[in-house]
Chains A and B, each alone.
Chain A
Amino acid sequence: MSPYRERYHRKLDDLVDQTRDLANQASSAIGKSVAALSESNVDLAKEVIKNDQSVDDQSQRIEDLCMELLALQQPMAKDLRRVIGILKIAIDLERISDLAVDVARVTAQSKDKIQITKLEYIPKMAEVDRKMLAQTMEALANGDADLARQVTKWDYEIDGLYVKARDKILKIIIERPEVINEGTSLLMVNRHLERIGDHICNICEAIVYMVEGRREHLN
């Protein structure tokens, strides 16, 4: 095989590595933003916000690499599906990071500590989100469409936790109207973590498409 072709195939593999790197950053943003919220740790929240630049840069790097491959190599078949799939995955990963940043902002901007309740469901959701994301990247690296399909099943757990957290927060707001602002912020956080699960399902759909060429609606 020609050295040009080899370099091309290396770049296609590189695309997956770069995407995993972006996913790691997104995952750590989820973990830290929720830890910051639980511990009212403003510094940690600010760290997440600051790191968003690095996430954007990484996402840009992936987009550039996809553009380069499309323009110079005209990928076909599974290679084409990989480039298109990763373009979509990178967008979802960037959105996930943005949502984590929004969670961090709640902590960073609150003058008073948000401790209207012990956060039991919210950290649990973040944990499930991160577990899903790790498995999703496993599926991407191994071209494992079945694993990608399985991951989307976890979204039911996220949805369940979301409803529980929402009902609990609403109950507190009704009982203690003076915490309306903090309660609303928590409702937003809850919603963001649920949305992250949806983005991960989108990524899983992209992986199934990359591997099998089939457009499946998962979840």
Chain B
Amino acid sequence: MVTSKIVSKNLSLWYGEKQALKNISLEIPEKKITALIGPSGCGKSTFIRCLNRMNDLVDKIRIEGEVFYDNNNIYEKNVDVVELRKRIGMVFQKPNPFPMSIYDNVAYGPRIHGMKNVDKIVERSLKDAALWEEVSDRLDHPALGLSGGQQQRLCIARTLAMRPDVILFDEPCSALDPISTGKIESLMETLKDNYTQVIVTHNMQQAARVSSFTAFFLLGELIEVGETKRIFEMPQMKSTEDYITGRFG
């Protein structure tokens, strides 16, 4: 049995007048990788940003429906959003390290949350992000001196340092070469047993390789979701098939 970590129910979202999400009901299974695919502008980023209330920061936004995280509606009034984002971390398309040392980048979150044993957390996180070997002798160097692939793994380490439960990846490899991409993918694989992961990707092969479940979005709607193998071998909806076989538009 697969239990759901996050469940969205009839989730709709408007940017001003423009509706970007239409009645999305989707279950994100626990300790699995779920891929979100779909053409540019279909609402993938908007959707995952709803899962840790990242959209709260956008103005003129209106949200209807519910998102449950461990059965609690995260859009209830009394929810601690800072705590929520600690539990549900996010990695973005462009690596965005802080302009400080490698060490401080990872230590930043644990420090402001008053966590103990920061040295240990930094080492553990860098190891889990498969970056330790490459940076252990220069932790005091500026993070911006790292390569793009290393920066992205540093951002993942920064997310892991917060001991999250869920990690949301928004096109984490789109700026990376195949070797760095391979490292991020194998990292996701090793994190699979302990974390629930969601990845937005435009790379169909990547979705097929890394995920257990795939959801296809189109024009703000969830068209189809299912086991990745089934989606790529035998999609049920014509638009899914057209998209993944490159017959779109």
Assess the A77–B246 pair: CB atoms within 8 A: no
- Asked if A80 is at the interface (CB within 8 A of a chain B CB), the reply is yes
**Residue numbers in B under 8 Å from A77 (CB-CB):** 232-235, 240-241, 244-245
* Size bracket, chain A contacts: 10 to 19
Nearest Cβ on chain B to A145's Cβ, whole angstroms: 13
Per the bound structure, the CA–CA distance linking A46 and B231 in Å amounts to 50
- Asked if B82 is at the interface (CB within 8 A of a chain A CB), the reply is no
Nearest Cβ on chain B to A120's Cβ, whole angstroms: 45
- Asked if B54 is at the interface (CB within 8 A of a chain A CB), the reply is no
Assess the B205–A78 pair: CB atoms within 8 A: no
**Residue numbers in B under 8 Å from A71 (CB-CB):** none
**Residue numbers in A under 8 Å from B244 (CB-CB):** 76-77
- Asked if A53 is at the interface (CB within 8 A of a chain B CB), the reply is no
Interface size on B, residues (CB 8 A): 14
Question: How many pairs of residues, A versus B, come closer than 8 Å at their CB atoms?
Answer: 33
CB < 8 Å neighbour of B232 from A5, A8, A76: A76
Nearest to B246 among chain A residues (CB) is: A5
Per the bound structure, the CA–CA distance linking A213 and B245 in Å amounts to 15
**Residue numbers in A under 8 Å from B247 (CB-CB):** 1, 5, 9
Within 8 A of B (CB), among A123-179: none
Nearest to B235 among chain A residues (CB) is: A77
Per the bound structure, the CA–CA distance linking A98 and B125 in Å amounts to 61
**Residue numbers in B under 8 Å from A78 (CB-CB):** 241, 245
Within 8 A of A (CB), among B212-249: 232-235, 240-241, 244-247, 249
Nearest Cβ on chain A to B32's Cβ, whole angstroms: 21
Nearest Cβ on chain A to B218's Cβ, whole angstroms: 15
Within 8 A of B (CB), among A65-95: 74-81
- Asked if B204 is at the interface (CB within 8 A of a chain A CB), the reply is yes
Nearest to A73 among chain B residues (CB) is: B246
Assess the A213–B246 pair: CB atoms within 8 A: no
Nearest Cβ on chain A to B129's Cβ, whole angstroms: 28
Nearest to B232 among chain A residues (CB) is: A76
Contact string against A for B residues 130-146, beta-carbon threshold 8 Å, 1 for contact and 0 otherwise:
00000000000000000
Contact string against A for B residues 78-91, beta-carbon threshold 8 Å, 1 for contact and 0 otherwise:
00000000000000
Nearest Cβ on chain A to B190's Cβ, whole angstroms: 25
Per the bound structure, the CA–CA distance linking A8 and B246 in Å amounts to 10
**Residue numbers in B under 8 Å from A81 (CB-CB):** 233-234
**Residue numbers in A under 8 Å from B249 (CB-CB):** 1
Per the bound structure, the CA–CA distance linking A79 and B234 in Å amounts to 10
**Residue numbers in A under 8 Å from B208 (CB-CB):** 76
Assess the A74–B234 pair: CB atoms within 8 A: no
CB < 8 Å neighbour of A79 from B205, B240, B245: B245
Nearest Cβ on chain A to B37's Cβ, whole angstroms: 11
**Residue numbers in B under 8 Å from A213 (CB-CB):** 233-234
**Residue numbers in B under 8 Å from A75 (CB-CB):** 245
**Residue numbers in A under 8 Å from B204 (CB-CB):** 74, 76
Contact string against B for A residues 1-15, beta-carbon threshold 8 Å, 1 for contact and 0 otherwise:
100010011000000
Nearest to A76 among chain B residues (CB) is: B244
Nearest to A212 among chain B residues (CB) is: B234
**Residue numbers in B under 8 Å from A9 (CB-CB):** 247
Per the bound structure, the CA–CA distance linking A1 and B249 in Å amounts to 7
CB < 8 Å neighbour of B233 from A1, A5, A8, A80: A80
Per the bound structure, the CA–CA distance linking A79 and B235 in Å amounts to 12
Nearest Cβ on chain B to A80's Cβ, whole angstroms: 7
Per the bound structure, the CA–CA distance linking A74 and B245 in Å amounts to 9
Per the bound structure, the CA–CA distance linking A78 and B243 in Å amounts to 12
**Residue numbers in B under 8 Å from A74 (CB-CB):** 204-205
Nearest Cβ on chain B to A17's Cβ, whole angstroms: 20
Nearest Cβ on chain A to B203's Cβ, whole angstroms: 10
**Residue numbers in B under 8 Å from A80 (CB-CB):** 232-233
Nearest to A214 among chain B residues (CB) is: B234
Assess the A76–B245 pair: CB atoms within 8 A: yes
Interchain Cβ contacts under 8 Å between A and B, 5 examples: A76-B244, A76-B245, A77-B245, A79-B245, A81-B233
Which residues of A approach B to under 8 Å, CB–CB? 1, 5, 8-9, 74-81, 213
Which residues of B approach A to under 8 Å, CB–CB? 204-205, 208, 232-235, 240-241, 244-247, 249
Q: Would you list the 7 A-B pairs with minimal beta carbon distance, nearest first?
A: A213-B234, A76-B244, A77-B241, A79-B245, A77-B245, A76-B245, A76-B232
